[in-house]
Amino acid sequence: AQLGMIAAEEAIKHAGIPQQGEDLSKIGILVGSGVGGLYTIEREEAVLLEKGPQKVSPFLVPMLITDIASAHIAIKYGFSGPNFSISTACATGNHSIGEAFKIIQRGDAEVMVAGGAEAAITPLGLAGFCSMRALSTLNDEPEKASRPFDRERDGFVIGEGAGVVVLEELERARKRKASIWGEIAGFGMSGDAYHITQPILNGRGLREAMNKALKDAEISPQGVDYINAHGTSTPFNDKVETQAIKDLFGRDAYRIPVSSTKSMTGHLLGAAGGVEMIASLLAFKEKIIPPTINYENPDPECDLDYVPNKAREAKIKVVMSNSMGFGGHNAVLVIKKL
């Protein structure tokens, strides 16, 4: 919740909302978390075992539930529009931003503060991810452990953080001369209905979500200039995502730069989509495609242009940003430069 609050404060300040006299019921919040308050659970369980139930904090439940970041932001600013959270593991950030986009399209709000926050680097969190063999074991060179699409990848590097953006109806934003970084053009989502952690091996679920996002944006596969991949650095994910991109985009898959910023940030779980949305918007502004670092050993099953090791100058107009979550959750955003 603290990370989400800090990110929201930065986004709200940058967006210049609320304006004086603005109807705060038109502004909503949708900031989620994939895991929730693991640190709080561990700390208060220790209190329970050492001192008894009477000493457990009365704030235990509010501090651990995944909707509390949205609540804190609303309370601080008085925003009384739609207010809830989404928890779809590592797809949380994209789902939150995508649903906020749809809320504005429906007319249920004019402005939405949306994204994800996560702080799961705790003894219990690390133990759980290690037990399921999700994390990299390249401990001798930790700076090289996150290596999406590389043949030697063996798991992700867990990160912490938050990514929050302010979405606003376009004409409203233009009228008040807001600083506009880009336009969300489309959102697609799907479910694998396959496995609790692994993506479906033929990539059907992600392919369907990408296709829905393109149709929602009314953009053809040929119109995409860059894909910000989910790219976790796990053996299954990167292979499946590559296959899904090739199946949907055909020959264009080899034209489109595909990179994973998780190679540099680690995997922020429920915050990943929000941070990667911001990275995609910065790609528009800076005219630079972020690289996939630590790409040293090509994998024959991952044979696309992963922007290896160095950022690339490019004028891009359309970005697709992919997210996949444990449980088979897929969420894809298509963003346009204005």
Residue among 72, 95, 230, 329 flagged as catalytic: 230
The distance in angstroms from the start CA to the end CA of the chain is 32
Q: Is 230 a catalytic residue?
A: yes
Please count the other Cβ atoms lying within 10 Å of the Cβ belonging to residue 71. Answer: 17
Q: Are 153 and 235 in contact (CB under 8 A)?
A: yes
Residue among 95, 267, 302, 329 flagged as catalytic: 267
Q: Is 267 a catalytic residue?
A: yes
Any idea how long the chain is?
338
Selection from 158, 136, 139 nearest residue 147 by Cα: 136
Q: Is 195 a catalytic residue?
A: no
Using CA atoms, how far apart are residues 11 and 4, in angstroms rounded to an integer? Answer: 10
Please write down the long-range contacts of 12-15, taking CB distance under 8 Å and 24 or more positions apart. Answer: 12/77, 12/113, 12/166, 14/166, 14/179, 15/111, 15/166, 15/168, 15/178, 15/179
The DSSP line for 117-151 is EE---SHHHHHHHHHTT-B----SSGGGS--TTBT
Q: Which two tokens stand for residue 288?
A: 């630079």
Residue among 90, 95, 302, 329 flagged as catalytic: 90
Q: Which two tokens stand for residue 259?
A: 């990179």
Q: Which two tokens stand for residue 254?
A: 């080899």
Using CA atoms, how far apart are residues 271 and 275, in angstroms rounded to an integer? Answer: 6
Catalytic residue numbers read 90, 230, 267
